Amino acid sequence: MYRVFIAEDEPAAMKHICTIIEIKCPGFEVVGTADNGRSALEQIEKLQPDVLITDVKMPVMDGITLVKRIGEKYPEILSVIISGYQDFDYAREALRSGVCDYILKPVKPSTFQERMRVIQGKLDEAYYVRRNRMIREMCRGILPDEKKFARFFPSSEYYVALFRKNGLPRRFVNSRGIEIFSIRDEQMMVYGRDEMEALYICPRELLFHNSFYQLMTHMAEKEKASAAYYTMVLREEAVPAIQLPEVIKMLYQTLDYSLIIGRKQVIVKEGQNLDEKANTGSGIWNPYLDRLEILVKDHAPNNKIQEEIKCCFMKWKEEGHTQLWVEDKVREMFGIFRRYHALDESIEMCEYFIDEAFYYAADMEGLADNIRQILGRSMTEEAKRIKIDTPEFFEKIVKYLREHLAEPLSPQDICEVFGISQTYLSRLFRKYSTMGFNKTLNLFRIEKAKEIMKDKSSLYIKDVAAMVGYGDQFYFSRIFRSVTGISPTEYMEKDGEESLI
């Protein structure tokens, strides 16, 4: 419940307001009262309410001054002025002081209830935004303030799981996907650094029959159709709320050091400590790279070099190395080619292509092919074979995306349609767009969804989602909210209201 503080010097008026809140406003509770502004200010510093309700005329410190002080020190607290003064000057001064509402005495229960309903909507949105910000910070390793944390995570215990489709997030800003948050009405909190990821935070009281492990494996199976592979890390038992930041940090670390390209994994973590089995690869002797270096140094035929690159990847697959380990070796591989002047691309461009190759790789075979294309100088030959390095060709790709939004689309699908490599597709997006493939596709889909909702407002959200290529309406709603700032339902209601004007 939201916390209310009341400052009122008339005992009868104070009792009247408290009674209305108790009977008519179930989403609020009175946590403190005062009969003057100074006492109210002192108590508010300790109690940290969500709402201040104050009379204008009080001894020691009046309501207008109190509201100004609160606005300066605690801008997140919503202030409501209740006054017998009908003079416009008082109302204007109150509004200038930052109040969110001004109610005249005598206070009617129905009027007060309606105003509090509006305030509750504002608080719901404010808590949603601030909670999301706190989740993002926890995922980045920033520990929250304990008092604030308890306000946004009021349950005693939580289940936590981290689910990721395909590889780790990309590093380049322009290529990053859309940050995902659960919509406000979802009981389970969800956060993703991009659209391929979901951190699930579930209050213990939400689960009645099934175990959290069963719930999450069921959700993972539903998602597998849209992923080449997935990695899920979870705690099977609920953890105390106070441990949530550390557990989230541990899940992300486990994901980083456990994800293997092309391998489906469900990892159950029982302790707080990270069992870091994977090695980043530095300092480990690798005979395959030694053989590759000899071939590159001696200017061996391209087919032999290509075959040796493939052998490296197949051996790494057999040994079950993680993505971070393989990334380290791939950078060593690029260093060999650069050392012997066998690589024309700049370091920045190579890093971009490596980033894209790992992000979209469905398995080690596909990753090997993409790396070979970069190192084998085949891109220049590809561009010569057909005139594809042009804005016109890129527009054809964009047009195809817009015309096939209802279909499941991946970079591999586009490459097959247009007869180009995935590496070259990445080059085109980097050259002619400010966004990567996934983000571009999602923005096109949301743009189309908005058009459909305007034309066919009677459709269900799940039907709109399916018409633009999303099989899960909750996933669609999260993407929609991240892009537009409001949920699909809110968008349809807003559009409906505008059409009535």
User: What is the strand order of the sheet 78-83 is part of?
Assistant: 28-34, 2-7, 51-55, 78-83, 101-104
What is the C-alpha to C-alpha distance for residues 236 and 212, in angstroms, rounded to an integer?
6
Task: Give the per-residue pLDDT at 388.
Answer: 67
Q: Among residues 257, 249, 254, which one has the least CA distance to residue 137?
A: 249
Task: Give the per-residue pLDDT at 13.
Answer: 93
Within a domain: residue 275? no
9 and 69, same domain (yes or no)? yes
Task: Give the per-residue pLDDT at 497.
Answer: 56
Least confident window among 53-62, 80-89, 356-365: 80-89
pLDDT surpasses 50 at 488: yes
Residue 362: helix, strand or coil by DSSP? coil
pLDDT surpasses 50 at 500: no
Of 313, 347, 376, the residue at which a domain comes to its end is: 376
354: domain range? 287-376
Q: Compute the average pLDDT of residues 443-468.
A: 92
What is the C-alpha to C-alpha distance for residues 314 and 305, in angstroms, rounded to an integer?
14
17 and 113, same domain (yes or no)? yes
Q: Compute the average pLDDT of residues 144-159.
A: 90
Within a domain: residue 279? no
Q: What is the CATH number of the domain that holds 230?
A: 3.30.70
pLDDT tens column, 226-284:
889 999 999 999 999 999 999 999 999 999 999 999 999 999 987 655 444 444 444 45
349 and 414, same domain (yes or no)? no
Within a domain: residue 137? no
Task: Quickly tell me which residue has 């003064």 as its tokens.
Answer: 85
Within a domain: residue 97? yes
pLDDT tens column, 298-334:
999 989 999 999 999 999 999 999 999 999 999 999 9
pLDDT surpasses 70 at 97: no
Task: Give the per-residue pLDDT at 280.
Answer: 47
Structure tokens at 246: 């550390």
Least confident window among 131-135, 207-211, 370-374, 395-399: 207-211
427 and 490, same domain (yes or no)? yes
112 and 61, same domain (yes or no)? yes
221 and 323, same domain (yes or no)? no
Within a domain: residue 235? yes
107 and 216, same domain (yes or no)? no
400 and 481, same domain (yes or no)? yes
Task: Give the per-residue pLDDT at 243.
Answer: 94
Residue 462: helix, strand or coil by DSSP? helix
Of 125, 144, 166, the residue at which a domain comes to its end is: 125
pLDDT surpasses 50 at 402: yes
- Confidence band for 3, pLDDT divided at 50, 70 and 90: very high
**For the chain, how many structural domains are there in total?**
4
294 and 240, same domain (yes or no)? no
Over pLDDT 90: what percentage of the chain? Answer: 63
Structure tokens at 80: 């409501």
Q: What is the CATH number of the domain that holds 403?
A: 1.10.10.60
CA 53 to chain centre: 35
pLDDT surpasses 80 at 380: no
Q: How many angstroms separate the Cα of 110 from the Cα of each of 118, 306, 317, 465?
A: 13, 77, 68, 39
Least confident window among 59-63, 109-113, 243-247: 59-63
What is the C-alpha to C-alpha distance for residues 120 and 36, in angstroms, rounded to an integer?
25
Q: Compute the average pLDDT of residues 433-447.
A: 92
Within a domain: residue 359? yes
Of 346, 376, 406, the residue at which a domain comes to its end is: 376
406 and 474, same domain (yes or no)? yes
Q: Among residues 398, 468, 410, which one has the least CA distance to residue 438?
A: 410
- Average pLDDT across the chain, whole number: 88
Q: Among residues 341, 370, 337, 342, which one has the least CA distance to residue 354?
A: 370
- Confidence band for 423, pLDDT divided at 50, 70 and 90: confident
List, in order, residues 6 or more apart from 285 with CB less than 8 Å away: none
AA letter at 337: F
Within a domain: residue 251? yes
50 and 92, same domain (yes or no)? yes
AA letter at 291: R
Q: What is the CATH number of the domain that holds 54?
A: 3.40.50.2300
Q: What is the largest CA-CA distance in the chain?
A: 96
* Signed CA dihedral, 321, 325, 329, 334: sign only: positive
Inter-helix orientation angle 302-319/287-297, to 10°: 170
pLDDT surpasses 80 at 41: yes
115 and 228, same domain (yes or no)? no
Least confident window among 13-17, 157-161, 190-194, 220-224: 220-224
Within a domain: residue 19? yes
* pTM, 2 dp: 0.86
List, in order, residues 6 or more apart from 211 with CB less than 8 Å away: 236
Task: Give the per-residue pLDDT at 390.
Answer: 86
Instruction: Please report, to the nearest 10 degrees, the dihedral formed by the alpha carbons of residues 43, 46, 52, 57 taken in order.
Output: 20
DSSP 320: T
Residue 7: helix, strand or coil by DSSP? strand
List, in order, residues 6 or more apart from 149 with CB less than 8 Å away: 134, 241, 242, 244, 245
Cross-strand pairs, 3: 29
139 membership: H or E segment, kind and range = helix 109-139
